[in-house]
Structure 1
């Protein structure tokens, strides 16, 4: 039986944790948007706590299996904060970005297909998670401007694109931290898009230039071959003529 290590654990837990994140997303969305009461609220809260426990087990397992636990712990403080602090629990939904590997296959091997897939998926996940979280922390705050899911989604789209109209804005500390994270995420996505497009343009121009050079080289080589053939024929013709003249000029005995 192979020895379990951190890489093996992460590979095996990747999709189960992505599934748990989807269930968490559904439960949390229902809790925030629907605002259920009574038995429904109790069930949703229980589901959220169970999935949170799953994430806690995953964190503990990766820490235990790490070769250098102290180093891994220090490099993954954010993982501990996400598990330990209730206000950061929606950040676990970013595990859904794991699904981009499947979307990568759907997008095909064409660069533009992959680019469109990644951009749409990343923007959708980041925007929705940020909107849901900011609505949860802002809705009941004094002086809040984000009080509905529609407002939250509009704010998220304006923020991730770094437009920032200012008609809706967070008033709590947690809400502002979410806004900062969303702006950084938006800049990162735009940066990846810009870099990928630039790389694609450079590769396209280089490929076209190479094709033109190769085509020109082939044409030049063909012309040189024709010139060589004409020279060969001319030299052979001149050699034959000179030989005939010499025979004609030789005195007969």
Structure 2
């Protein structure tokens, strides 16, 4: 009973924090993007963005600690939420700041595991778009000032991110630094996984529709067969009654005289 109360408290906390954490993830997204897209902005803009990132990180850290405290099995919670732990423990590593945003997407995605296919596909589609945009920002930050780098603008980064996530790989743009290549590997793996989830859920939706159509068709066929059998029985009954009435209506022939 005590474990059930703890589990209920943990679920209530996660449900209550879903919308605020999503809003904070948007704040983090804007703060992260502004620093990369506008490198020549005034210092106060960059400092404000950095403060916003730290505030968001603090909110994620508090959320993780509270969920860990409410979890019935502490070690099981740590093992089942590795990305959340990494996002909290590595706030100073620039590329891994994106894990804080990804952890929020995963937090929202956990709420959608039991949702219908359309709802889940919407969540995953949003994760694909978010991952592509922030992968673009991360590789632009790493490659823009690299010697011999060819990803210099946001447009180049978005194009490279799109071709990388879809594993097309035209080769016209590619990272030249080690960190950029690590980002590319992560983007390829994540893109394949997320797009695979979208494809699987769309296929599952079509299959469920076909199954419902087949079930409706089978019900209609059974109904028609039952109606046909009933009509046959009625026809047989009508024919029987007609024969009976016809026989009763025929008068008996008079006996012959001797």
For Structure 1 versus Structure 2, the TM-score category normalised by the shorter chain is 0.7 to 0.9
Equivalent residue runs for 1:89-168 within 5 Å: 89-94=97-102, 95-96=104-105, 114=119, 117-118=122-123, 120-168=125-173
More deviation in 58-67 or 17-26?
A: 58-67
Partner Cα separation in structure 1 for residue 86 and residue 107 of structure 2 = 20
1:32 aligns with 2:48: no
How many matched pairs? 245
Partner Cα separation in structure 2 for residue 216 and residue 77 of structure 1 = 53
CA deviation vs aligned residue, 1:48-97 (integer Å, no higher than 9, x gap): 22222222222222223322222322333332222222230122123257
- Contact 1:9–1:62 (8 Å) recurs in 2: yes
Tell me what 1:191 maps to: 196
CA deviation vs aligned residue, 1:168-209 (integer Å, no higher than 9, x gap): 222333323322222222222332232233223323333333
Gaps of 5+ in 2: none
Partner Cα separation in structure 2 for residue 119 and residue 78 of structure 1 = 17
**In structure 1, which of residues 6, 18, 22 is the aligned counterpart of residue 10 of structure 2?**
6
Q: How much has 1:142 moved relative to structure 2? A: 3.4
Gaps of 5+ in 1: none
Q: CA RMSD in A?
A: 3.3
TM-score, structure 1 length as denominator? 0.80
Tell me what 2:220 maps to: 215
Tell me what 1:235 maps to: 240
